[in-house]
Amino acid sequence: MLYGIERMEVRHWMDLTMDYPAEVARQLKADEIDMGLVPVAILPELDDYFIDADYCIGANGPVGSVGIYSDVPLEEVETVLLDYQSRTSVALCKILMKYYWKLTPKMLPAMQGYLSEIKGNVAGVVIGDRAFAQRTKSKFEYDLADAWKKMTGLPFVFAAWVSNKELPAEFIDAFNKANEWGLTQLDKVVAENPLSQYDLMYYYTKNISYRLDEEKRKGMQLFLEYIQKSN
């Protein structure tokens, strides 16, 4: 999506910054930014919010880049290290453990460098490019979006474009058009970001589902209800 945002007219309306999802969420909550692609798990923590765009980072089955990785089957895992980069993935892991897998391993927040601790009976939630690499190291992978789909029958939304204030309709229209155009340029995105561990074209066209349609909104609402129930 950034490919279109960076290259179309809407770019002139923005001071664009990039960081990992949990940090973008912190910035939005602190009013340091007006809008961000943020983990949906933070929505209950915002005093007021607007889901601005028609696009998101979602999946309607396996996502490929968000999972629990381990050397042993999940039922033998004693500790799960929780990725510090994504609050939504951590919340989803806890929900799936309780309601889908019905397991009670110890779940601990992880810090930078935790990937080396994923071994033996210690598993880890890993997201993004690091997950692609972890697939080649761990014997077992439990895709969180796939597990959510099997549990609920609904797609999952990891992140949505959210603002903490109402933004002009003209901006939102231009923003949506930039996202739409960017998604027609995925071959160029893949060419500019080579990755050996995973087929990025498959990832962008099959694993990730971008349109924030009614089914994804239902999945997002159900996820937020699970968060409230689990607190």
Task: Mark whether 86 and 193 lie in a shared domain.
Answer: no
- Mean pLDDT, rounded, for 103-117: 94
Per-residue model confidence (pLDDT) at position 154: 98
Task: Write the CATH number for 91.
Answer: 3.40.190.10
Q: How many CB atoms lie within 10 A of CB 61?
A: 16
Task: Mark whether 223 and 121 lie in a shared domain.
Answer: no
Task: Mark whether 143 and 71 lie in a shared domain.
Answer: yes
Last residue of a domain, one of 103, 124, 147: 147
The band of 219, judged by pLDDT with boundaries at 50, 70 and 90, is very high
Residue 70 pairs in a beta bridge with 140
Question: Per the structure block, which two tokens stand in for 72?
Answer: 């042993």
- Mean pLDDT, rounded, for 108-117: 93
Task: Mark whether 44 and 102 lie in a shared domain.
Answer: no
Q: How many CB atoms lie within 10 A of CB 87?
A: 20
Task: Mark whether 78 and 140 lie in a shared domain.
Answer: yes
Name the residue among 72, 210, 85 with its Cα closest to residue 142. Answer: 72
Model pLDDT for residues 116-173, shown as the tens digit of each residue: 999 999 999 999 889 999 999 999 999 999 999 999 999 999 999 999 999 999 989 8
Question: Per the structure block, which two tokens stand in for 57?
Answer: 């980072």
Domain total in the chain: 2
Per-residue model confidence (pLDDT) at position 3: 55
* Structural domain boundaries, residue 194: 2-61+154-230
